[in-house]
Amino acid sequence: MLDSLVEMLDVTGFPDVTWQGVVMIAIGLVLIYLAISKKMEPLLLGPIGFAVILANLPGQEHYLLAEEGFGAIGAFLNITYEYTISTGLIPLLIFLGIGTMTDFSPLLANPKAFLLGAAAQIGIFLALGLAVMLGFGLSEAGAIGIIGGADGPTAIYAAGALEVDPGIFAAITVAAYSYMALVPVIQPPIIKLLTTEEQRKIRMGKMREVSQLEKIAFPIVVTIIIGFILPSALPLVGMLMLGNLFQTSGVMDRLSNTGGDALMDIATILLGLGVGYLMIGEQFLTSETLSIFLLGVFAFATATAGGTLLGLLYYKLSDGKVNPMVGAAGVSAVPMAARVVQDMGQKEDAGSHLLMHAMGPNVAGVIGSATAAGILIGLLG
């Protein structure tokens, strides 16, 4: 009788249970809870959380731990990661989708916002330096620094191009998307620390109208300029601009709708499954992972501070006509960072409308983070 029970136990997954697997299953459940209950990046954290559970259930051989052979789930998720994420395909498709949903009019109406978007990228390079000091290699440090842009697809693309270890790749991805979701939590204290109540109450005037010709020419001109100046950034920027051209042309609605809806959804599902698959306990539960999450906070916080400080300079140079908070929207979290600025402005003054002024630096930040990633890939890749 006892022998029969032992044999029955052997065919279950219980003999292969590890404490790391149990912890990761719990983390997967937390991610699903945050996605559904707290609505934190639900379209991505939901698939990631479920894939984390799949990857850590016993009996499913994982390609990170076994030289050959893996179960059906492992095979599917392995293919998803190897051929769609590590190759850079999924981040590029997501950038195409982002382009179809992005309106660059606020940036074109106020080109000075380009500098605010650039200033916010300082967090990337500060985090890179700190990561090197903590013992990470240059390629790993560069990929970790990209978290400061609060741009998940760019962080994924950079990590893949710089060929970081899969365990670090997963930590970078989860950190980048987590901090995108936490923009309304992380940014306000930093903005309040660097600005005064009087400055936060500043109202800004109406922006000029942008012509259709400007909207169409912008993605084409930016693509050509980046192609000549920084070819390593062209894949990300080029796909972003192609998606935007679909939207602004007025004659490619079907392509724009597909890129922003169905294709974006498919890419997001594959991204979530592929990244969650990498989060296996033995590889993910390390001191390096904790360091990456802490470096991510530092990168994002200093990026917010960098944009706000340049906003303060604009405030001085404009004799108080520019609300310095708009500089904080220079991180690439579109449109969350711009909404934070809008909400903070209205809390100080209900008649203040900063959203469109903040969207200029915000969309500039998308280009800025992609450009910063291109620089790092070109130098370190």
Three-class secondary structure assignment of 29-81 = HHHHHHHHCCCCCHHHHHHHHHHHHHHHCCCCCCCCCCCCCCCHHHHHHHHHH
The three-class DSSP label of residue 300 is helix
In a domain, 150, yes or no: yes
In a domain, 1, yes or no: no
pLDDT at 77: 72
Other C-beta atoms closer than 10 Å to the C-beta of 76 total 14
In a domain, 366, yes or no: yes
Residues of the chain with pLDDT under 50: 63-71
Q: Cis before residue 324, ω within 30 degrees of 0?
A: no
Of 92, 14, 29, nearest to 59 (Cα)? Answer: 14
pLDDT at 65: 45
- Burial class, 11, CB count within 10 angstroms (exposed 0-12 / middle 13-18 / buried 19+): exposed
pLDDT at 68: 44
In whole angstroms, give the CA distance from residue 201 to residue 85.
Answer: 44
In a domain, 2, yes or no: no
pLDDT at 284: 84
Question: What's the pTM value of the predicted model, to 2 decimals?
Answer: 0.88
In a domain, 3, yes or no: no
In whole angstroms, give the CA distance from residue 199 to residue 193.
Answer: 12
- Total of domains in the chain: 1
In a domain, 5, yes or no: no
Range of the domain at 231: 14-380
Tell me, what amino acid is at 128?
Answer: L
Angle among Cα 15, 19, 23 to the nearest 5 degrees reads 125
Token duo for residue 183: 């923009």
In a domain, 8, yes or no: no
Q: Cis before residue 235, ω within 30 degrees of 0?
A: no
The H or E element containing residue 71 is: none
Token duo for residue 102: 């992005």
In a domain, 19, yes or no: yes
